[in-house]
Structure 1
Amino acid sequence: MKEIALNLKSMQDYRINESYKQLRTNIEFSGEENKIIAVTSCTPSEGKSTVSLSTAYSLAEAGKKVLFIDADLRKSVLTGRYKISGEMKGLTHFLSGQGDLSEILCKTNEKGLFVIFAGPVPPNPAELLGSKKFAALLKEARNIYDYIIIDTPPLGSVIDSAIVSAVCDAAILVISANTISYKFARSVKDQLAKTGCNILGVVLNKVSMKQNKYYGKYYGKYYGHYGSDK
């Protein structure tokens, strides 16, 4: 099993870290049946990859054994962020029969957190994610890990997230503040609901804490939010 350094804790200030703890608590209290959780957004650049990986880290920090799967096979942000070399095999290798689980599973420097990166962009991402092999991977992981957090492509752009959500216990929608319309967000939420997956709620991301002090004091049930002054 390969090892990789993520150094997630150094990326978060106290306020953001507390927000992730709040989200973690909401996930834990949503029910023990919600072990496999898909994270998606409406459009690219809303921060879903950061939210999903940081949520996985927060759960691991609380003593849980967590598997994070980068299932954004079309345009993985994390592969570039962590400078994953082309020699490292990922999810696409496994799903296409070019690698086994031991070759794609990575142990991180964060205790309890394991990662499977996306791998190279395949010509048929939706078909791979909808395969029996992916469903079997999740079934096996359920027996090993306390939580499986899956980063999926924006549902407002491609169908992949709906395909993944259909085999998950629950889903979280990440929405960037002042970026999309209510109508579009509602449309994506309705599309996600059609998969039959339990929607835990929405994470309001990229909120200016200077302009929205109210958000810093309130978190609704199954909701979290992460401020940014940048």
Structure 2
Amino acid sequence: NLSQTFERLLSEGYEHIVVDGPPVLGLADAPLIASYAEATMFVIAARNTHTRTARMSLRRLADVHANILGAVLTKFDAKKIGYDYGYNYDYGDKRIGFIKRVPG
């Protein structure tokens, strides 16, 4: 029984218990676990999770009064969406045409 397992773990003196649950839209396991948990982190796989699926999952968690602290985006590659970070700087005298670009 899930509630007995949680009670046993809590009675053993653990301050925090992290449970990696199954997908929310699968069987009833994820909402059941979330209903017992003090807090829930919603994990979304970038480029694999459709917006509609994420919304349905959040609705299902809300239906069991899950306390959702936030979301974690996994498998995210900023370069694939055109975002990148970098810097360059120039030195020299522009008036005489001597400029060297140094990559950061």
Give the TM-score taking structure 2 as reference length: 0.68
Closer, same or farther in 2 for the Cα pair 1:138/1:189, shift >3 Å? farther
% identical aligned pairs: 29
Letter in 2 for 1:183: R
Q: 2:62 aligns with which of 170, 193, 206?
A: 193
Structure 2 unaligned runs (5+)? 86-104
Q: Which amino acid aligns with 2:49?
A: I
- Going from structure 1 to structure 2, the CA distance change for 1:137 and 1:212 (only over 3 Å counts) comes to farther
> Partner amino acid for 2:37?
C
Match in the other structure for 1:75: none
Q: CA deviation at 1:145?
A: 2.6
Q: 1:214 to 1:149 in 2, by over 3 A?
A: farther
Corresponding residue for residue 74 of structure 2: 205
Find the residue that maps to 1:207 and give its secondary structure: coil
Residues 188 and 146 of structure 1, relative CA distance in 2, 3 Å threshold:
same
2:45 pairs, out of 176, 201, 204, with 176
Q: Displacement of 1:211 after TM fit? A: 2.3
**Per-residue Cα deviation, 1:35-78 (whole angstroms, up to 9, x for no partner):** xxxxxxxxxxxxxxxxxxxxxxxxxxxxxxxxxxxxxxxxxxxx
**Normalization by structure 1: what TM-score?**
0.33
Aligned residues: 85
Mapped partners of 1:139, 1:173: distance in 2: 22
Structure 1 unpaired stretches of 5+:
1-127, 217-230
- Please give the residue correspondences for 1:17-166 in structure 2 after superposition, counting only pairs within 5 Å: 128-129=1-2, 132-141=3-12, 144-166=13-35
Larger radius of gyration: 2
The whole-number CA distance in structure 1 between the counterparts of 2:84 and 2:38 is: 28
Distance 1:134 1:208, change over 3 A: same
CA deviations on 1:82-136 (whole Å, 9 max, x unpaired) are xxxxxxxxxxxxxxxxxxxxxxxxxxxxxxxxxxxxxxxxxxxxxx33xx42232
For residues 138 and 182 of structure 1, what CA distance do their matches in structure 2 show?
35
- Say if 1:151 and 1:215 are closer, same or farther in 2 by CA, change over 3 A: farther
